[in-house]
Amino acid sequence: MESEQLLAQLLYQYQDQPGGLLPLLHAVQADFGYIPADAVPPIARAMQLSAAEVEGVISFYHDFRRQPAGRHTLHICRAESCQAAGGEALVAHLQARLGIEPGQSSADGELTVESVYCLGNCACSPALRIGDATHARVDIARLDALLDSLLESAS
Amino acid sequence: MSVRYFVPADTTAIAVGADDVAQALAAALETRGEYGRIVRNGSRGAFWLEPLLEIEQHGRRVGFGPLSAAEVDAIVALPPEAREQHPLFLGDVEALPWFAAQRRLTFARAGLGDPLSLDDYLLRRGFDALERALEMAPEEIVQAIDDSGLRGRGGAAFPAGIKWRTVMDTPAGQKYIVCNADEGDSGTFADRLLLEADPYQLLEGMAIAGLAVGADTGYIYLRSEYPRAREVLRVALAKAEAAGYLGSNLAGSQRSFRIHLRIGAGAYICGEETALLESLEGRRGMVRAKPPLPAHQGLFGRPTLVHNVLTLAAATTVIADGAQAYAALGEGRSRGTLSVQLAGNVRRGGLVEVPFGVTLRQLLEDFGGGTRSGRPLRAVQAGGPLGAYLPESLWDTPLDYEALAAVGGMLGHGGLVLFDDSVDMARQARFAMAFCTEESCGKCTPCRIGAVRGTELLDRVIAREAPHSELALLEELCDTMEQASLCAMGGMTPAPVRSALAHFPEDFA
Ligand SMILES: Cc1cc2nc3c(=O)[nH]c(=O)nc-3n(C[C@H](O)[C@H](O)[C@H](O)COP(=O)(O)O)c2cc1C
Ligand code: SF4
Ligand code: FES
């Protein structure tokens, strides 16, 4: 009920904005953590689009999620500058320690790992982001420390 | 005597600990009962020195870095005359050879003051160019851009003057200025640095472009991976509007210019200008066929001037200093300054602004100082994921658009990514194809299918399952992608692949 009201508010806010679908989807995801399937028909109606068109837009962009993410999201940079500075060793370490690959969430729902292609920190590669906090010049010891404090705060 | 302390609030500076340094600084000042003002400036772009702390006292500004929070208290405790003895003392940062050898125009203000302070901006010639432009006829502004020789800094290097004139010459009516701040290329961060360190310069450049071509509305399309730049821009837009530098009465002129900020959603292809326009209109970022050019039918079908952040920023320099001064710098048909970004496995990474024409080797060695790992430098990728890998034999090439193109390279947005000798070039070639698979908009077959085939083929090469003859197939595939793709995503993905094959064949054997 509450979430329906929230959605209605967002639709009202964005429906008259030219090209407002992306800002609307961003706002929905910011509030709900993902784009719920049952939000698509009302979004389509408000923006005067077909549900298929809205689905098409959601699936085109990497940022939009159809499922909730874990409590924390770790974006690890996979692009060339970070590759050159040892970034793929961090990916391997994440896989070894957590047993998940980029694109997956840990079984307890604590952490989702996603690939990202450049965070603009390439002068201090490798880089990753946890929530909105970016870390650069990351080595395996630093990654472990970050994971420790993250997963500790969870328990 | 008042003391000012500067600790950058830039994404990369924070990512290596600047917030911790600022906190330690506040604590140190408090426990010592010392008065001092902490300014969270933008970064100067010398990221190898971040976190950098600068102390300004008695008219002298000296730096310490790269610093950890634990070292702050001891530095604050030093009497001014003893500072020089500290092992991390840098002196006047601008006197370091790394800075002294640069020619900063676009990045002249970066890192000097509080990026959001309009007073700081005005103090450093902010809005001078806008005031001038308000006294010029549109034709005069466009002529100045044309005479300066300024070319697009986003990658395609198209002469800006021609685009401005085209949009100016379309019939009056709704027109748009669109700033491309999608900065998707790995190894680049110049747009981000500028947006976080000197945001008003971009807003000023957009307003000037609006006056010149007759547009009263601008959009900034910023990638979602830059949350801090977004926050800085949001505040800068509000403050500029409140102070009358944007809005319905531009600097008291009765002319109007407004800017909307839009956020991307993690699609590399949306940096391509027509895909960007589709995205701004709320659709999938599918590349449009040209013609029509965006200058004729762009955003919402209206004439639109699309430029990279750095191109619009450079317009302020051209108008403030004059076209001749700008054109006096550079080499051949590349005029003015180039903002190089040193990245990857590099010792002194950061933003180096120099006139076009310096050699690659000067940048890699003199500025970059070689690899951070200390191992031999083996390959450099210039110009982002669609740019070639260049071996040492090509490092004496001067950096201008034509000279680099002549050796099969591309300057793109100015990113240089350094790789040491542990790199496997077959894997880098595979990544180029895989990235194209991931990021292709899917509109044309050579790109959509070609990249998948290319990835599979290179997988077999890497697994040593492919007979050497299959490399000929790879070349054919590259031919097809180059010749039949609608845009440079499919059309230039072969560049890193082919350069890896041509210059590092031993990695494919
Ligand atoms: C795949 C692809 C990605 C691009 N990404 C960017 C980008 O992130 N930023 C940018 O300014 N230009 C990018 N461009 C170039 C734009 O299409 C366009 O040329 C540019 O925005 C024009 O501005 P300029 O004249 O100031 O360079 C890209 C082009 C292609 C083909
Ligand atoms: S080359 Fe690739 S990205 Fe460009 S239009 Fe074709 S499918 Fe889209
Ligand atoms: S490539 Fe990783 S931050 Fe740019």
For B109-148, what is each residue's pLDDT tens digit?
999 999 999 999 999 999 999 999 999 999 999 999 999 9
DSSP label at residue B22 = H
Residue B446 has pLDDT above 60, yes or no: yes
Q: At A123, give phi and psi (nearest 5°).
A: -70, -20
Residue A1 has pLDDT above 80, yes or no: no
Give the ipTM of the model, two decimals please. 0.97
Please give the average per-residue pLDDT across B321-338, as a whole number: 96
Amino acid B234: pLDDT: 98
> Which atom of ligand 3 is nearest the CA belonging to A126?
2
Amino acid A154: pLDDT: 55
Residue of B nearest to A114 (CA): B266
3-state DSSP percent of chain A in helix, strand and coil, to 5: 50, 10, 35
The answer to whether the CB atoms of B265 and A137 lie below 8 A apart is no
Please give the average per-residue pLDDT across B253-259, as a whole number: 95
Residue B424 has pLDDT above 60, yes or no: yes
Amino acid A32: pLDDT: 95
Amino acid B1: pLDDT: 56
Residue A155 has pLDDT above 90, yes or no: no
Amino acid A3: pLDDT: 87
Please give the average per-residue pLDDT across B381-407, as a whole number: 96
Percent of chain B with pLDDT over 70: 100
Residue A153 has pLDDT above 80, yes or no: no
Q: Report residue B403's pLDDT band, with 50, 70 and 90 as the boundaries.
A: very high
Please give the average per-residue pLDDT across B357-378, as a whole number: 97
Q: At B179, give phi and psi (nearest 5°).
A: -95, 120
Amino acid B35: pLDDT: 84
Q: Report residue A20's pLDDT band, with 50, 70 and 90 as the boundaries.
A: very high
d(C-alpha B243, C-alpha B238), whole Å: 9
Residue B194 has pLDDT above 90, yes or no: yes
The answer to whether the CB atoms of B418 and A84 lie below 8 A apart is yes
**pTM check: above 0.90:** yes
CB B409 within 8 A of CB B396: no
Is the peptide bond between B159 and the residue preceding it cis, with omega within 30 degrees of 0?
no
Ligand 2 in reach of B269 Cβ (< 6 A):
yes
The answer to whether the CB atoms of A118 and B284 lie below 8 A apart is no
Q: Report the pocket of ligand 3 as residue ranges, CB < 6 Å.
A: A 77, 79, 81-82, 118-122, 125, 127; B 186
Q: Which mutation among B477, B486, B492, B493 tests ligand 2's pocket best, with the greatest number of atoms within 8 A of CB?
A: B486
The angle, 0 to 180 degrees and rounded to 10, between the axes of the packed helices B227-242 and B190-197 is 40
Task: Tell me the domains of chain B and their CATH numbers.
Answer: 4-94 (3.40.30.10), 118-327 (3.40.50.11540), 330-420 (3.10.20.600), 425-508 (1.20.1440.230)
Amino acid B363: pLDDT: 98
Residue B471 has pLDDT above 70, yes or no: yes
Percent of chain B with pLDDT over 90: 97
State the count of interchain CB pairs (< 8 A) between A and B.
149
Residue A80 sits at the chain B interface (C-beta within 8 Å): yes
Please give the average per-residue pLDDT across A12-37, as a whole number: 96
Residue B320 has pLDDT above 70, yes or no: yes
Ligand 1 in reach of B152 Cβ (< 6 A):
yes
Amino acid A2: pLDDT: 77
Nearest residue to B310 via CA among B104, B26, B10? B104
Amino acid B469: pLDDT: 81
Amino acid B467: pLDDT: 78
Q: Report residue B385's pLDDT band, with 50, 70 and 90 as the boundaries.
A: very high
Ligand nearest to the Cα of A136, by number: 3
Amino acid at A144: D
Nearest residue to A137 via CA among A81, A94, A85, A102? A85
Is the peptide bond between A68 and the residue preceding it cis, with omega within 30 degrees of 0?
no
Task: Tell me the domains of chain A and their CATH numbers.
Answer: 2-60 (no CATH), 72-154 (3.40.30.10)
> Which atom of ligand 2 is nearest the CA belonging to B481?
1
User: What does the pLDDT look like over A89-122, one tens digit per residue?
Assistant: 999 999 999 999 999 999 999 999 999 999 999 9
Mean pLDDT of chain A: 95
The answer to whether the CB atoms of B186 and A132 lie below 8 A apart is no
User: What does the pLDDT look like over B40-54, one tens digit per residue?
Assistant: 999 999 999 999 999
Ligand nearest to the Cα of B151, by number: 1
User: What does the pLDDT look like over B198-230, one tens digit per residue?
Assistant: 999 999 999 999 999 999 999 999 999 999 999
Q: Which two tokens stand for residue A96?
A: 């070894």
Please give the average per-residue pLDDT across B497-502, as a whole number: 98
Question: Which of B47, B186, B345 lies closest to A117 in CB terms?
Answer: B186
Residue A81 has pLDDT above 90, yes or no: yes
Amino acid A151: pLDDT: 86
Q: Report residue B459's pLDDT band, with 50, 70 and 90 as the boundaries.
A: very high
Q: At B177, give phi and psi (nearest 5°).
A: -110, 125
Distance from CA of B208 to the nearest CA of A (A): 24
Nearest residue to B118 via CA among B220, B238, B19, B219? B238
User: Which of B48, B196, B219, B225 should one mutate to test binding to chain A, selecting the residue with the greatest count of A CBs within 10 A?
Assistant: B225
